Amino acid sequence: MSTPANDVAKTLGLDRQSKVTSRLKPYLVWGGIALAVVLLALFWFGRQSSGLVQYQTQEIKRGGLTVMVSATGTLQPTNQVDVGSEISGTIKTVEVDYNDQVTRGQVLAKIETTKLEAQVKQTAASTEAARARVLQTQATVSEAKAKLARLVQVQDASGGKVPSKAEMDTAKANLDRAIADEANARATVAQAEATLEAQRTDLAKAVIRSPIKGVVLKRAAEPGQTVAATFQTPVLFTLAEDLTQMELHVDVDEADVGKVREAQTATFTVDAYPDRSFPARITQVRFGSKTVAGVVTYETVLKVNNTDLLLRPGMTGTANITVQQAKDVLLVANAALRFTPPQAAPKPKGGGGLVSSMLPRPPSSAPKAADSAEDKQPHVWVLRDGKPEKVMLKIGMTDGIMTEVKEGKFEPGMAVVVDVIEANK
């Protein structure tokens, strides 16, 4: 049964056009697939035909090379002194403040001395009493000597009959006893004088003076503060002798310490002046080691000129120590020494062809030949007719980027391979 829509389609000829399209549709699909395969094949063979390995090269040049060792440490004064108190007491006055310039012998602080002065007076009186005791014993000695002398005269006059032997022995013992008392009195005087001298020294130490000429870095003393000098002397002031000459103490790693020597030059930077570099010179490489978190380092001292007083104690400095330097030598990039040309991919066995080349294959795992003794020797690769060729050489110092060429058939401008730009896989 025809419908109005079918009648219209017949009238316009649309039903005939749809039949033609349905017959051509399979051919159009297979034609599109064939076109895609042809284009893929053209792309594949074009890639195979242009699949030459391309290398990146860098020229050997002549120039200077500087090898540096980097280390970090802190700035310290050349001579830093902690000033404390050897006696206990209450601080009476403090005469200086932070950053004050002080001279040798200048008064820094004073401790209350009332008790010390009383002790000095008491000991002085005891000393005078001891001296009087010496005079008394001297008189006793004189008296004992005179009595013994009279007894000797009587004995001589009587022909030894009088005095008796007991009286003579008693007189001699009294003289010896008097001499001993005199010696004891003199020792008491010496003891009293020593105690008096010690107390006078303590009295003098109640005035704390600067032992050096310098500047006050720290002050831990305040008026009225009690100082207790027991087992450890309390530190009241920290002085730096001369801030125009300072030291940078850095920790050099054990792997680099063999290169570091006294008198080597260095430069360092601090966070306060990131755009400025300061010169320094090594004055000491200490043998004692320090181990922090399993890392062994050796303390190295660098002398720093701080005439402009920009640097301050405690600043962290990062130093670059010049350990080796050469001028006008041949230099090769370290990348060339590390370069190894890629291994050529093995060709597939069998007929191959387009279909086999398009099918996925497992990755090749060709066994890698063991490194020969020659491979372990320093060498670079140069291009000969577009292919890399190994050239042996003898190298010297390196800064991590460039290496000195000591022996080898090289000239400035000669290109060596450093990397692969493109290769087919």
CB 403 within 8 A of CB 46: no
Which of 353-383 are b and which e, b meaning 16 or more Cβ less than 10 Å from the residue's Cβ? eeeeeeeeeeeeeeeeeeeeeeeeeebbbbe
- Per-residue pLDDT of 32-41, as tens digits, reads 787 777 777 6
**CATH 3.30.450.20, domain 81-111+209-239, yes or no:** no
CB within 8 A of 71, min separation 6: which ones? 250, 251, 252, 253, 256, 300, 318, 319, 321
Across 38-47, 357-366, 377-386, least confident range: 357-366
Q: What is the mean pLDDT of residues 337-362?
A: 60
> Residue 183 pLDDT more than 60?
yes
* Confidence class for position 364, pLDDT limits 50, 70, 90: very low
Q: For the chain, what is the mean pLDDT?
A: 86
* Confidence class for position 90, pLDDT limits 50, 70, 90: very high
Amino acid 354: pLDDT? 47
CA 201 from chain centre, in angstroms, equals: 42
Amino acid 315: pLDDT? 97
Amino acid at residue number 405: V
% of residues, the chain, pLDDT over 90: 66
> Residue 306 pLDDT more than 80?
yes
* Confidence class for position 159, pLDDT limits 50, 70, 90: confident
Amino acid 37: pLDDT? 77
CB 251 within 8 A of CB 295: no
CA 22 from chain centre, in angstroms, equals: 86
* Confidence class for position 42, pLDDT limits 50, 70, 90: low
> Residue 352 pLDDT more than 70?
no
Amino acid 55: pLDDT? 87
Domain boundaries, the chain: 19-50, 69-78+240-326, 81-111+209-239, 113-205
> Residue 367 pLDDT more than 70?
no
Give the count of alpha carbons within 13 A of 251, CB side only: 10
**CATH 3.90.1150.10, domain 69-78+240-326, yes or no:** no
- Per-residue pLDDT of 281-291, as tens digits, reads 999 999 999 99
Amino acid 385: pLDDT? 84
- How does DSSP classify residue 378? -
- The answer to whether domain 69-78+240-326 and domain 81-111+209-239 are alike in fold is no
pTM of the model: 0.66
Which of 238-273 are b and which e, b meaning 16 or more Cβ less than 10 Å from the residue's Cβ? bbbbebeebbbbbbbeeebbeebeeebebbbbbeee
Distances (CA, A) of 9 to 4, 21, 22, 24: 9, 15, 16, 20
Q: Is 405 helix (H, G, I), strand (E, B) or coil?
A: strand
Q: The dihedral of CA 216, 218, 222, 225: what is its sign? A: negative
% of residues, the chain, pLDDT over 70: 82
Q: What is the mean pLDDT of residues 320-324?
A: 94
- Separation CA 302–CA 304 (nearest Å): 6
Look at residues 343, 300, 292, 296 and name the one whose alpha carbon lies nearest to residue 320: 300
